């Protein structure tokens, strides 16, 4: 994960860092503590001055936990339980950051685009998983629930973008939302929105 | 559609509806079809697509309908209920409706590369995702007829689907959305195809439910009235 700016008010454990020594379980606990301490409904809204720290956190979480999810056949669903729990906690943090940090949408188009791509891809892979799981345990995290969470968070972020009041020096929010949705719909129509250039 | 810029790639297939470009390139070690999605306007190498987290690379063509269905679901749930910038998204609304119609036909049609269970899942998601749009005024003809078209295809098509899944989905849709337009021709076709078919119990239930919705056109039809689209009536409203 990228180092957090100095304005961050809390220490962020680093996975795989021998100095902090945070295990996946500890990091999961940290992720679950964020909504309780800073992003809960009872907490005051986070001022825009703290936005860079939260953008960095969302960026890092997106890169690490919303990256490519293994397809069925590579691993079993049971082996993905811990990753699934990480993703679930990440989705909760991402959704709450976009709801509770003032000005989070301003100049954050790239972050929203990245979330759009990552969550679409996650939903796709979970859809593939859904058709493969036969035996389930009640306490298990299931692909359907995780997919619904990912889809809800993505829709929440996009609708928030559409309802945002941008600063005068940036593109209108409706244009940003329109561009993102159009890019997705265009690719379904076979109209690729990019060209490949070979050196 | 990119053409000259894809000179190093071999175009494997360009499906009719919707148009999906799948490519095979020597730059990638695998030779399966891929769908690439990117916000970037220019990309120097295909491998750059995979390394950028803002891009989507679908390894197998069989997963393309799944991704498109997810895109449809996201688009529908984003634009409905209406946002305050709704008036600026009319083209997105239109594109979403077009996608729903073409994607349904694509998933049912022979050019869809996914296995039948995946296709059924996609069809269910398309019908379910567009339920909210079907209730909007002005969308009856464009998207409100999707369940009816699916039912018609179910009756006429000979694909080896597990139709009971579709029958249950349609029964659910017709029960919950009793004001959907159903033509009398389709009803007659349903009676003919499913009337005595014990192998399709849910299909029979759909047939009976449509009959309850449309008893009025039976009377009008037998009295020699011209064929046309009837205003459906629910079982409750008749009583």
Query: b/e map of B8-20 (b: 16 or more CB within 10 Å)?
Result: ebeeeeebeebbb
Q: A190: closest CA among B153, B111, B211?
A: B111
Disruptive mutation site among B53, B80, B82, B93 for chain A (greatest number of A CBs within 10 Å): B53
> Given an 8 Å threshold on Cβ–Cβ distance, is B117 in contact with A184?
no
Q: What is the pLDDT of residue B137?
A: 78
How would you classify the pairing of strands B42-43 and B21-25?
A: unpaired
**Nearest CB to A194; choose among B42, B53, B74:** B42
Same-domain pairing of B48 and B92 = no
Give the gap in angstroms from C-alpha B184 to the nearest C-alpha of chain A: 33
Do B70 and A120 touch, CB atoms closer than 8 A?
yes
Quote the minimal CA–CA distance from B141 to chain A in Å.
Answer: 21
Per-residue confidence (pLDDT) for residue A150, from 0 to 100: 97
Same domain, B149 and B227: yes
Verify that B117 and B106 share a domain, yes or no. yes
Chain A contact for B3 (CB, 8 A cutoff): no
Q: What is the pLDDT of residue A98?
A: 96
Q: A6 vs chain B: nearest CA distance in angstroms?
A: 26
ipTM over 0.90: no
Domain count within chain B: 3
Write the pLDDT tens digit of every residue in B78-121: 999 989 888 999 999 999 999 999 899 888 887 788 888 889 99
Nearest-5° Cα angle at A114, A26 to A102 = 75
Q: What is the rounded average pLDDT for all residues in chain B?
A: 70
Which alpha helices (DSSP H) does chain B contain, by range? 46-51, 64-79, 90-108, 116-129, 131-134, 146-156, 163-176, 184-194, 201-213, 215-222, 235-238
- pLDDT for the residue A196: 44
pLDDT at B200 over 90: no
Q: Which of B99, B114, B139 is the last residue of a domain?
A: B139
Most B CBs within 10 Å, among A60, A188, A191, A194, to test the B interface: A188
Q: Which of A55-64, A134-143, B183-192, B201-210 has the lowest mean pLDDT?
A: B201-210
* pLDDT tens profile B8-24: 333 333 333 333 444 44
Q: Which of B43, B59, B75 is the last residue of a domain?
A: B59
- The verdict on B89 and B34 lying in the same domain is no
Q: Are B175 and B161 contained in the same domain?
A: yes
Residues B133 and B84 placed together within one structural domain of the fold: yes
Do B235 and B161 fall within a single domain? yes
| Residue ranges making up the domain that contains B163 | 145-239
How far are the Cα atoms of A71, A131, A143, A147, A169 from residue A134, in angstroms, in the given order?
16, 8, 12, 17, 53
| From A62, A159, A189, residue closest to B19, measured CB to CB | A189
Model's pTM, two decimal places?
0.80
């Amino acid at each position: 994960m990228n180092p957090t700016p100095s304005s961050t008010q809390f220490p962020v454990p680093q996975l795989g860092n021998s100095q902090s020594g945070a295990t996946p379980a500890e990091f999961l606990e940290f992720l679950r503590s964020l909504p309780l301490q800073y992003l809960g409904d009872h907490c005051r809204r986070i001022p825009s001055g703290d936005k860079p720290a939260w953008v960095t956190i969302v960026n890092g979480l997106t890169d690490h936990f919303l990256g490519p999810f293994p397809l069925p056949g590579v691993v079993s669903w049971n082996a993905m339980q811990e990753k699934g729990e990480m993703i679930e906690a990440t989705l909760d943090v991402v959704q709450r950051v976009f709801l509770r940090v003032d000005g989070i949408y301003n100049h954050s188009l790239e972050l929203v685009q990245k979330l759009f791509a990552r969550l679409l891809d996650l939903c796709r892979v979970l859809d593939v998983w859904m058709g493969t799981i036969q035996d389930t345990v009640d306490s298990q995290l299931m692909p359907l629930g995780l997919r619904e969470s990912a889809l809800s968070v993505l829709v929440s972020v996009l609708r928030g973008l559409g309802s945002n009041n941008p600063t005068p020096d940036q593109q209108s929010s409706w244009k940003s939302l329109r561009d993102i949705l159009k890019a997705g719909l265009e690719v379904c129509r076979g109209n690729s929105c990019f060209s490949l250039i070979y050196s | 559609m990119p053409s000259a810029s894809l000179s190093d790639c071999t175009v494997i297939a360009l499906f009719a509806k919707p148009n999906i470009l799948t490519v095979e390139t020597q730059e990638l070690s695998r030779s399966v079809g891929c769908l690439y999605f990117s916000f970037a306007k220019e990309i120097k190498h295909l491998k750059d697509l995979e390394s950028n987290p803002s891009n989507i690379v679908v390894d197998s063509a069989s997963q393309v309908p799944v991704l498109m269905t997810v895109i449809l679901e996201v688009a529908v749930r984003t634009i409905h209920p209406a946002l305050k910038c709704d008036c600026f998204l009319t083209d997105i609304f239109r594109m979403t409706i077009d996608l729903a119609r073409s994607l349904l036909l694509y998933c049912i049609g022979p050019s869809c590369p996914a296995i039948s269970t995946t296709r059924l899942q996609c069809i269910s998601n398309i019908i379910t995702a567009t339920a909210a749009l079907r209730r909007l005024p002005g969308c009856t003809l464009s998207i409100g007829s999707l369940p009816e078209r699916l039912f018609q295809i179910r009756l006429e098509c000979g694909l080896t689907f597990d139709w009971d899944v579709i029958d249950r989905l349609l029964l659910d849709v017709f029960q919950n959305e009793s004001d959907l337009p159903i033509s009398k021709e389709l009803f007659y076709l349903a009676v003919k195809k499913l009337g005595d078919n014990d192998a399709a119990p849910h299909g029979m239930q759909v047939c009976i439910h449509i009959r309850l919705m449309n008893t009025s056109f039976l009377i009008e039809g037998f009295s020699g009235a011209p064929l046309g689209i009837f205003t459906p009536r629910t079982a409750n409203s008749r009583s």
